[in-house]
């Protein structure tokens, strides 16, 4: 039987360091919010495959749809011979997407592909070139999406130059003194000094920044962006790759602001662990590109589309939007109690929407000075106690919680207890018993 040490040796010899995983163990099996490694050790999963598993590992509704599809067809390429799950999924997403405009959807394989195709659609619709994104954003790892990403390490270092006609402005961050007015002042300055708004095809924004640190876009920011885009004929792209599918207490995070995007990118939890992404948008914009201009060989894979239908079944049947809001309130309350203690490692700002929650580790109580080393240490220490956590943020000091929405209250509490214990062990002056 393989063990973690021997598998890590094989991994180091066979794969490049650029894809070195964070965890030193190898997963053997998983169920809902729990993992077991090849040596039989159990872990509670607060990472959710980086926001992919809102419905948990191997949800029965997802697996049922997948097993049925496996008995019918696994690949033809949508561009060659289409299949019903793609159409059914598009119909359901079109109906669920925010806003009253007629919608159409296309499917691809990854979130980065979704972003690239949204930019292509926006350029085809507007006849313009430039795109504006935000500092701290993450939109993917391809050359275009790296250019849009507003975070250097580890995504952009050593990989330039990036495509031109891409611009960035500050994202509001209360802990660092950046307001919505500051963001719009930067946009106005950009339009006066770098590019006229009549040349801008799209503004792209995450309603909750993922890799940037779970910074929540104030509703007024999204509402004012909608007004700005309408005034200048700019396409507003909302990137819901990490924040979508009930994670924030709404099906899509942009719903908290009450606006309708022109285009919306989706991926991650869309298909419950199967590779699938998409663009949902206003029908006239989605129809702007010529036939054959969008898509790809594996785009909208039939098994992944079937899995996504299972995800939508589970969200509706199990009330996961409501569950996200309730669960998020419980987690935030517990984290506030932990943060108020004086015998844990200092915690800075706590933020999020629904069950998309994060907190910063800082150097001292009352400080905003980031402590990225502490974030790395907390992830390692929690893992030793059986909890999988992820860090993120521009400064690398943010801990994010992405526990499956299907996790039981008992599992969530067990994970939070491990988190609290780990923070206690990291407190200044703490001595192990």
Q: Is residue 156 part of a domain?
A: yes
Number of H helices, E strands in the chain: 13, 15
Q: Is residue 82 part of a domain?
A: yes
Asked if residue 2 has pLDDT above 90, the reply is no
Distance, in Å, from the CA atom of 69 to the CA atom of 86, rounded to the nearest integer, reads 12
Contact 171, 132 (CB under 8 A): no
> Same domain, yes or no, for 354 and 209?
no
Q: Is residue 91 part of a domain?
A: yes
> Same domain, yes or no, for 306 and 366?
no
Phi, psi of 258 (to 5 degrees): 70, 30
State what percent of residues in the chain have pLDDT above 90.
93
Contact 79, 295 (CB under 8 A): yes
> Same domain, yes or no, for 305 and 333?
no
pLDDT (tens digit, 9 = 90+) per residue, 216-234?
A: 999 999 999 999 999 999 9
**Angle at Cα 370 formed by Cα 365 and Cα 376, nearest 5°?**
105
> Same domain, yes or no, for 252 and 345?
no
Contact 267, 110 (CB under 8 A): yes
Task: Choose the weakest-confidence range: 166-180, 217-231, 263-277.
Answer: 166-180
What count of other Cβ atoms lies within 10 Å of the Cβ of residue 285? Answer: 23
DSSP characters over 236-290:
EEEE-TTTTTTTTSSSSGGGGGT---SEEEE-GGGGTTS--EEEEEEHHHHTSSP
* Domain interval for residue 185: 60-317
Q: In which band, very low, low, confident or very high, does the pLDDT at 134 lie, cut at 50, 70 and 90?
A: very high
Closest CA to 277 of 301, 249, 253, 309: 301
> Same domain, yes or no, for 50 and 128?
no
Asked if residue 140 has pLDDT above 90, the reply is yes
> Same domain, yes or no, for 130 and 34?
no
Q: Tell me, what's the pLDDT at 153?
A: 83
Q: Tell me, what's the pLDDT at 329?
A: 97
- Structure token pair of residue 142: 């391809």
Q: Tell me, what's the pLDDT at 279?
A: 98
Q: Are strands 200-205 and 235-239 parallel, antiparallel or unpaired?
A: parallel
Distance, in Å, from the CA atom of 349 to the CA atom of 173, rounded to the nearest integer, reads 11
Q: Is residue 430 part of a domain?
A: no
> Same domain, yes or no, for 108 and 216?
yes
Among residues 286, 317, 348, the one where a domain terminates is 317
CB-neighbour burial class of residue 200 (10 A; exposed 0-12, middle 13-18, buried 19+) = buried
Q: Is residue 390 part of a domain?
A: yes
Q: Tell me, what's the pLDDT at 96?
A: 98
Q: Tell me, what's the pLDDT at 431?
A: 59
Asked if residue 158 has pLDDT above 60, the reply is yes
Q: Tell me, what's the pLDDT at 207?
A: 98
Sign of the four-CA dihedral 268, 269, 274, 277: negative
Length of the chain: 433
DSSP secondary structure code for residue 387 in this structure: E
> Same domain, yes or no, for 41 and 67?
no
Number of folded domains in the chain? 2
pLDDT (tens digit, 9 = 90+) per residue, 233-255?
A: 999 999 999 999 999 999 999 99
Asked if residue 430 has pLDDT above 70, the reply is no
Contact 249, 218 (CB under 8 A): no
Q: Tell me, what's the pLDDT at 176?
A: 84
pLDDT (tens digit, 9 = 90+) per residue, 74-128?
A: 999 999 999 999 999 999 999 999 999 999 999 999 999 999 999 999 999 999 9
Asked if residue 433 has pLDDT above 60, the reply is no
Alpha-carbon dihedral 346, 351, 355, 360, rounded to 10 degrees: -30
Q: Is residue 327 part of a domain?
A: yes
Q: Is residue 432 part of a domain?
A: no
Contact 244, 270 (CB under 8 A): yes
Among residues 284, 317, 350, the one where a domain terminates is 317
Q: Is residue 403 part of a domain?
A: yes
Please state, rounded to an integer, the average pLDDT across all residues of the chain: 96
User: Who has greater pLDDT, 151 or 305?
Assistant: 305
Q: What is the CATH number of the domain that holds 339?
A: 3.90.1150.10
Angle (deg, nearest 10), helices 409-425 and 372-384: 120
> Same domain, yes or no, for 143 and 191?
yes
> Same domain, yes or no, for 96 and 236?
yes
Q: 264 has which bridge partners?
A: 238, 280
Among residues 258, 291, 317, the one where a domain terminates is 317
Distance, in Å, from the CA atom of 162 to the CA atom of 367, rounded to the nearest integer, reads 36
> Same domain, yes or no, for 310 and 336?
no
Q: What is the CATH number of the domain that holds 88?
A: 3.40.640.10
Q: Tell me, what's the pLDDT at 427?
A: 87
Asked if residue 429 has pLDDT above 80, the reply is no
Distance, in Å, from the CA atom of 215 to the CA atom of 207, rounded to the nearest integer, reads 8
User: Who has greater pLDDT, 195 or 157?
Assistant: 195
> Same domain, yes or no, for 195 and 246?
yes
The contacts of residue 217 (CB under 8 Å, 6+ apart) are 171, 172, 205, 206, 207, 208, 209, 257
Q: How far is CA 258 from CA 222, 245, 255, 270, in A?
A: 9, 16, 5, 22
Q: Are strands 398-401 and 356-361 parallel, antiparallel or unpaired?
A: antiparallel
């Amino acid at each position: 039987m393989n063990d973690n040490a021997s598998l890590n040796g094989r991994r180091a010899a066979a794969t490049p360091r650029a894809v070195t995983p964070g965890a030193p163990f190898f997963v053997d099996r998983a169920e809902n919010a729990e993992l077991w490694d090849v040596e039989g050790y159990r872990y509670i999963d607060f990472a959710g495959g980086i926001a992919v598993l809102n419905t948990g590992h191997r949800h029965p509704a997802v697996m049922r749809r997948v097993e049925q599809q496996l008995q019918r067809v696994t690949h033809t390429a949508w561009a060659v011979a289409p299949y019903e799950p793609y159409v059914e999924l598009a119909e359901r997403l079109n109906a669920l997407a925010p806003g009253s405009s007629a919608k159409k959807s296309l499917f691809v394989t990854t979130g980065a592909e979704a972003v690239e195709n949204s930019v292509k659609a926006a350029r085809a619709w507007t006849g313009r070139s430039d795109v504006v994104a935000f500092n701290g954003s993450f939109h993917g790892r391809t050359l275009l999406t790296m250019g849009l990403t507003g975070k250097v390490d580890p995504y952009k270092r050593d990989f330039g130059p990036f495509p031109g006609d891409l611009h960035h402005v500050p994202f509001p961050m209360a802990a660092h003194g950046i307001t919505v007015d500051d963001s719009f002042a930067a946009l106005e300055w950009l339009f006066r000094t770098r590019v006229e708004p009549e040349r801008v095809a799209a503004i792209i924004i995450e309603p909750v920044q993922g890799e940037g640190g779970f910074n929540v876009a104030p509703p007024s920011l999204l509402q004012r962006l909608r007004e700005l885009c309408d005034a200048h004929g700019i396409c507003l792209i909302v990137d819901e790759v990490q924040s979508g599918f009930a994670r924030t207490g709404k099906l899509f995070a942009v719903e908290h602001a009450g606006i309708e995007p022109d285009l919306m990118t989706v991926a991650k939890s869309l298909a419950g662990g199967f590779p699938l992404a998409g663009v949902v948008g206003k029908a006239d914009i989605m129809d702007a590109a010529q036939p054959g201009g969008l898509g790809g060989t594996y785009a909208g894979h039939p098994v992944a589309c079937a899995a996504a239908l299972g995800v939508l079944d589970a969200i509706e049947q199990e009330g996961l939007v409501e569950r996200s809001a309730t669960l998020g309130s419980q987690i935030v309350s517990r984290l506030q109690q932990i943060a108020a203690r004086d015998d844990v490692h200092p915690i800075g700002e706590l933020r999020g929407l629904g069950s998309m929650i994060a907190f910063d580790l800082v150097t001292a109580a009352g400080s905003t000075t980031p402590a990225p080393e502490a974030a790395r240490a907390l992830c390692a220490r929690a893992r030793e106690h059986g909890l999988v956590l992820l860090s993120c943020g521009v400064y690398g000091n943010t801990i994010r919680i992405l526990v499956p929405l299907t996790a039981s209250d008992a599992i969530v509490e067990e994970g939070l207890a491990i988190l609290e214990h780990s923070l206690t062990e990291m407190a200044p002056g703490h001595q192990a018993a």
